Amino acid sequence: MTDLLSLIKETGAYRAVEGDKKRGMLSHAYLLITADGANLDNYLKIFSKLIACKDGCACGDCRACRLIDEGVYPDVYRFPKDGEAITAEEVNLLIEESYIKPIEGDKKIFVLSHAENMNLAAQNKLLKTLEEPPKGVHILLGTTSEFPLLPTVKSRVKKIEIPAFTPEKLFNALKDDYPDEQKLKQAIACGDGTVGGVVSLYGDEKLSLVEDLVMDVLVNMQSSKDVLDYSIKISSNCQDITDFITVLKLTLRDLLVLTEGRETEVFNKSKISALKNAQNFCTGSIVYALEHAAEAEKRKKFNANQTMLLEWLLFKILEGKYKWRKL
């Protein structure tokens, strides 16, 4: 099993809650924010343990920690019970339950997962409990985005954030479970700094598919007539063109060092022979393409239209290719 606890223990989020506990000042409500939707529940479990553990930390060995791991600790309540979104009815249950004393310890923990899916009625119902919960009650909200939450909810909780992890930390945490070193490094380089993101890139064939698409564009896209075909091909294979742009940037970087004769510095060694087919590119056109890929990434963040952005980028790659055409 991937050692998520070691990763989390090094975050400011963990240290903040640990510090609160040491000072006997645990907040009655925390909002845990992470971009890693796939591991949100795992992270919430770690923080539940940290709060409930008899020890100062999420020791993993005491009765509370073990039962939380198994999902059967009687003083931890998880919502939604089933389904994707916590309903107003469930919040009613939570409120009723919050007045009943804990069974094992002195704390009762309510874990609200994927709070971003809660509708306004459910959020509104929760407000009073968030403001004045019964003694010993701690509410742990977990979300992948804080934007769908009401400002009145956010103002009543202590915000703790899991940041993007560095490539080194991700590599060390994942190398035992994902032994193909080259593939793992590539997945980390293309990922978003989350464990879930890296695992999904490593696990499926998506990454090599995107790599092939990028190579196809660099080697075979010859004229503006091709742009539309490639745009359709890329859009139908990448739900989000960010993946395409990220892999494009890495490939261009490899192409650049290869063009400059620094073959040993190529990151993705398995693609060297394929890169050598992209001969129409010289330093000028690669740098030009890199600059426009970075610009496309920026525009994507501001919600530019995906198809138009992709076509614009492909045109720019072609433009650069001919602007600095080798004579």
Taking the least distance from each CB to Zn ion, the nearer of 35 and 67 is: 67
From 54-62, 82-90, 113-121, 256-264, give the range in contact with Zn ion by CB under 5 A: 54-62
Runs of H (alpha helix) within the chain: 4-9, 12-22, 40-52, 63-70, 88-98, 120-131, 151-154, 167-174, 181-190, 195-203, 206-220, 224-237, 241-259, 272-275, 283-301, 306-323
Q: How far is the CB of 30 from Zn ion (least distance, A)?
A: 18
Taking the least distance from each CB to Zn ion, the nearer of 59 and 266 is: 59
- Rg of the chain's alpha carbons, rounded to an integer? 24
Q: How far is the CB of 266 from Zn ion (least distance, A)?
A: 47
CB neighbour list of residue 164: distance below 8 Å, 6 or more residues apart: 35, 192, 193, 194
From 15-23, 45-53, 119-127, 128-136, give the range in contact with Zn ion by CB under 5 A: 45-53
From 13-21, 50-58, 172-180, 241-249, give the range in contact with Zn ion by CB under 5 A: 50-58
Among 31, 44, 53, 126, which residue interacts with Zn ion (rule: CB under 5 A)?
A: 53
User: Would you give the DSSP letter of residue 265?
Assistant: G
From 59-67, 241-249, 274-282, 315-323, give the range in contact with Zn ion by CB under 5 A: 59-67
# of chain residues touching Zn ion (CB under 5 A): 5
Taking the least distance from each CB to Zn ion, the nearer of 56 and 83 is: 56
From 49-57, 67-75, 120-128, 239-247, give the range in contact with Zn ion by CB under 5 A: 49-57
From 17-25, 48-56, 86-94, 203-211, give the range in contact with Zn ion by CB under 5 A: 48-56
* Residue 201 near residue 36, CB atoms below 8 Å: no
Q: How far is the CB of 50 from Zn ion (least distance, A)?
A: 9
CA distance 119 to 11: 30
Taking the least distance from each CB to Zn ion, the nearer of 57 and 257 is: 57
Taking the least distance from each CB to Zn ion, the nearer of 14 and 178 is: 14
User: Left (φ > 0), alpha (ψ -120 to 50) or beta: where does 104 sit?
Assistant: alpha
Is 62 a binding residue for Zn ion by CB under 5 A? The answer is yes
Placement of tokens 């809650």 in the chain: 17
Burial of 122 from C-beta contacts in 10 A (0-12 / 13-18 / 19+): buried
CA distance 322 to 288: 11
CA distance 87 to 119: 7
CA distance 251 to 258: 10
Is 40 a binding residue for Zn ion by CB under 5 A? The answer is no
From 46-54, 70-78, 169-177, 220-228, give the range in contact with Zn ion by CB under 5 A: 46-54
Among 51, 65, 207, 218, which residue interacts with Zn ion (rule: CB under 5 A)?
A: 65
**192's tokens:** 């978003």
Q: How far is the CB of 42 from Zn ion (least distance, A)?
A: 16
Taking the least distance from each CB to Zn ion, the nearer of 49 and 125 is: 49
Q: How far is the CB of 217 from Zn ion (least distance, A)?
A: 52
Taking the least distance from each CB to Zn ion, the nearer of 42 and 242 is: 42
Direct distance between the N- and C-terminal alpha carbons of the chain, in angstroms, rounded to an integer: 55
CA distance 294 to 298: 6
Taking the least distance from each CB to Zn ion, the nearer of 74 and 163 is: 74
Taking the least distance from each CB to Zn ion, the nearer of 17 and 53 is: 53
CB-CB neighbours of 191 under 10 Å: 23
Written as one string, the DSSP assignment of 219-237 is HH--SHHHHHHHHHHHHHH
Among 16, 38, 59, 93, which residue interacts with Zn ion (rule: CB under 5 A)?
A: 59
- What does the binding site for Zn ion look like in residue numbers (CB under 5 A)? 53, 55, 59, 62, 65
